[in-house]
Structure formats: structure tokens, C-alpha cells
A and B are shown apart, each in its own frame.
Chain A
Amino acid sequence: MRYLCVIYDGEQTMAGMSKEEGEAFMGEYFAFTDGIKKSGHYIGGEALQPVATATSVRIRNGKLSTTAGPFAETKEQLGGYYLINARDLNDAIQVAAKTPSARTGAVEIRPIVEFDMPA
């Protein structure tokens, strides 16, 4: 079963790190990604540019509105995601718990809706 692990972390966490700390943190992420590739959990995953680069788009009454910034201002920001394959929720929790940001922020696990699509 597929789950999306959505990573929320304070952007200050990274910004507040020294060069060495930041490299060590990224190193943990590379090791984590390698680990879940080897275990067969990994389907995909990306890190996102900071929310300062975000743009939100809405169409209301047929009119396009473009605003700077994320959809919702929160204390922790959406910083990246992993799409994983897991046996069940417990398996997904084990994977999410190993994400480095689980210690500094939070990882939200969302099961993917599998639509029955006509071939």
C-alpha cells in the first residue's frame, strides 16, 4: 500500500544550523533515503524550496488570483515528501519515524487513494 509521508519542519531549524550541522543533517537524509531504497519502501521523494518561494493560485468567480506565500501560514512548513510503499500503517510509521525531521518537526502519513481506473 502506498503512503505519502509529508514532512513539516521549521525552516529556522535548518537556517539556524552551522555549516557542519547542516551538512550532517543532509547526510542523515541521504542515508535515510538510501536505507528506504534498499528496504524497498522508496517510490519517490523530493525536498522543497523554502515557503518564501511559494505561490498560491485560486480561481474565484472565474478570475485568477495569484498570491505570494503558502496556502496556510503555520509554525512548521511543508518542506518535502516521500512517497513510500509499506505493508501497513505500522510499517509506514517505522519508516516515518526514521526521517531525520521526525526529531525536529513532524511527518504526516497519508494513505494514497487507489482509484480503479479503466485500462
Chain B
Amino acid sequence: MSTGRFKAIDVLRRRARFDRAAAALAKSLDVTASSAEADVDAEEVEDDRLRLIFTCCHPALSGDAQLALTLREVCGLTTEEIGHAFLTDPRTIAQRIVRAKGKIRDARIPYQMPSRTELPDRLDTVLRVIYLVFNEGYSASSGEALTRQGLSGEAIRLGRLLVELLAEPEASGLLALMLLQESRRAARTSEDGVLILLADQDRSRWDRALIAEGATRLEQALASRRIGPYTLQAAIGAAHAHADTAEATDWQTIVALYDIMLRLDASPVMQLNRAAAVSMRDGPAEGLVLIETLLAAGELDDYHLAHSARADVCRRLGRTADARASYARALALTRQGPERRFLERRLAELI
């Protein structure tokens, strides 16, 4: 499976050197590029990979089906591996794949690249699926291991492939975002399996090669001047990555980036992230006001990170009882082992 994949990527690399003028000429003559040059294989592999990704992530398929199909057909994972990664019965995964293939056949979902008018909408779905895979690997929604490198690795591989195949700024932005998050993987959990917050991480353990690659991809995305939500989040990630110490973090810039981000995506979770950044720029009291306003709106009531964010600013303000109450609420809501241990430790420290 992976040999085939690397072979395909290798072909793609050669494809990148293919004289673009020849392709443009072929296009203007309305003949397929395959009859124009010797790089038939490369052209075909490129088209084939893209067609496959866009078909698996077709918006007429359900989100669950897009995810399962992409991991099965593009990444080559088995239904057992997918089931294990998502804590789902492999038979359920297999069923989802069978149903999705049934719909592809019966509703005749074509195996092709979207047209230029369809592309923005269709690309959004592809990027969302890739980021979901990454997040499931980076901070599993439940279970013991906080990070499941396999899935994140697959997502990054998909992201790199997409960027090679398609010059779209948000594809570069997403790849940058994933690389910058991945660079902190080793520093996120202690040896005894406790989550370590960004501020407390040993920054010498951050992966500099991934940060450099992420920064390059981010620059590419920013150069396009068509800046989307993934690129903005990557820019926030880069601001953290470039701070040598937690104290040196440029919170001014990070809050400004969140302000722009909220214009694209004003979801409560984004507002919470901004509130946490404000608490670092202006102080915990300012952060608390924003966080409590968001909690009062009700939408984040079952979101463990909202309660641990409130707990954190209360702790910094010396409001121990409030902090304890919120840590306890977060603890009741989280299903992740490393995070649970982190919250338990915080509670124990606050007696």
C-alpha cells in the first residue's frame, strides 16, 4: 500500500517538472495532455489521485461516509484500522463504506474533478475531512492515548498530496496548520501521561523541521492574498511556534488574528479561543468577563474546554472555589485520559 503511494508521489514530483507550456498548449488545442507528451503516467496518476479524493469527499455523501471512504480508498487503511481509530465497530465502518459506494453507483456520483465553479465548495469538504482525520489523531475525542500519530500522519500525507496537486491557498494553509500543531506532539504529554499546556511545554522538544515546513507553507498561503480560516489558524500557530518562551508570545498579534478569524467563523469555540488569548494579553479578569458571557449563552455548556478555560482564569485570579468548580465540571465532561489526569492534578493543587 505505502509503496504504491510513495511511487505515486514520486511520479507527481516528476510531474511537477513537466513543461507547463506543453500542458497549456495541449489545453488550448483541446486535446488531452496525454497525447501531447511522454509524461502520460504522471498526468494520469495526478488526475487519478485528485479524482479519488474529490469523489470520496463528495458533499452528497454523509460526513461519516466521507471520512471512512477517504481513509479506506485514499489512505489504504483497513476497516479494522479505521474502526480502531474512531472507536467504532469495524462492521459499522464496512457498512458505511458499502452504503457510500452504493450511493456513488445509484445516484451516479462521477469519478471526476469538480469544475472551476464547483471547486471552492467541494474543496471545503475535502479540507474538512482531512482536518477531521488529523484532529482525531491529534486529540482523540476519547480514550487513553491523547495522540494517535497514525491518523495525524495520514492527514499530513493527504495534505501534502493535495498541495502538490492543487495550487489552492487554503490547502497550503491547512497543511501549515497541521504541521505546526504536529510539531508540538512530543511536548504535549508528560512521561506519566498527563497533558501539558502550551505555556508549560518544553519548547526544545518542538520539532523544528516541521515548524520550518509549516512556516514555508504558511508563507505560500499568505502570498495568495486569498486568506481563509485554515491559513489564519496556521498564522496563530506560527505565532506560538516562533516564541522562544511562553512569556515571549506575541499575544497582541494572536488576538488580532482571532479578530480577523471571527469575521470568517464567529462560532462560540472560536470566540472562546479569542477570549483565552485576551486573558493572556490583557489579564485574567478581562478574559473571565468574555468567557462567562460565552458560557451564559449556553452553547458551550457541554464543552469541557470552556469550563477548563474558566477554571484557568479563576485560578490565576486566586478565586479558588470558582476554579475548583469549573475544573470539576470540565473533568466530568472530558473523555480523554491525559486531559483527565491534568484536570485531577489541577484540582489536587487547589486544595
Contact = CB atoms under 8 A, between A and B. Distances in A.
A83 to B, nearest CB: 15
Contacts of B109: 88-90
B110 A111 contact: no
B106 A88 contact: no
Q: What secondary structure prevails in chain A residues at the interface with B?
A: mixed
B63 interface: no
B118 A90 contact: yes
Interface residues on chain A, size class: under 10
B116 interface: no
B120 to A, nearest CB: 13
Interface in A79-98: 87-90, 93-94
A90 B59 CA distance: 10
A1 interface: yes
Contact of A1 (B58, B108, B114): B108
B107 A89 contact: yes
Interface residues of B, number: 11
Interface in B79-114: 106-110, 112, 114
B105 to A, nearest CB: 10
A20 to B, nearest CB: 30
B118 A111 contact: no
Contacts of A1: 108
Nearest to A87: B110
A111 B112 contact: no
A59 B110 CA distance: 41
B60 interface: yes
A89 B58 CA distance: 10
Contacts of A94: 118
Contacts of A89: 58, 60, 107-110
Nearest to A113: B106
A109 B114 CA distance: 18
A36 B118 CA distance: 19
B141 to A, nearest CB: 31
23 contacts: A1-B108, A87-B110, A88-B108, A88-B109, A88-B110, A89-B58, A89-B60, A89-B107, A89-B108, A89-B109, A89-B110, A90-B109, A90-B110, A90-B112, A90-B114, A90-B115, A90-B118, A93-B60, A94-B118, A109-B107, A111-B106, A111-B107, A111-B108
Top 6 A-B residue pairs of the complex, sorted by shortest distance between their CB atoms:
A88-B110, A88-B108, A111-B107, A89-B109, A89-B107, A1-B108
Interface of B: 58, 60, 106-110, 112, 114-115, 118
Given A89-B109, A89-B110, A111-B108, 10 more contacts: A88-B109, A88-B110, A89-B108, A90-B109, A90-B110, A90-B112, A90-B114, A90-B115, A94-B118, A111-B106
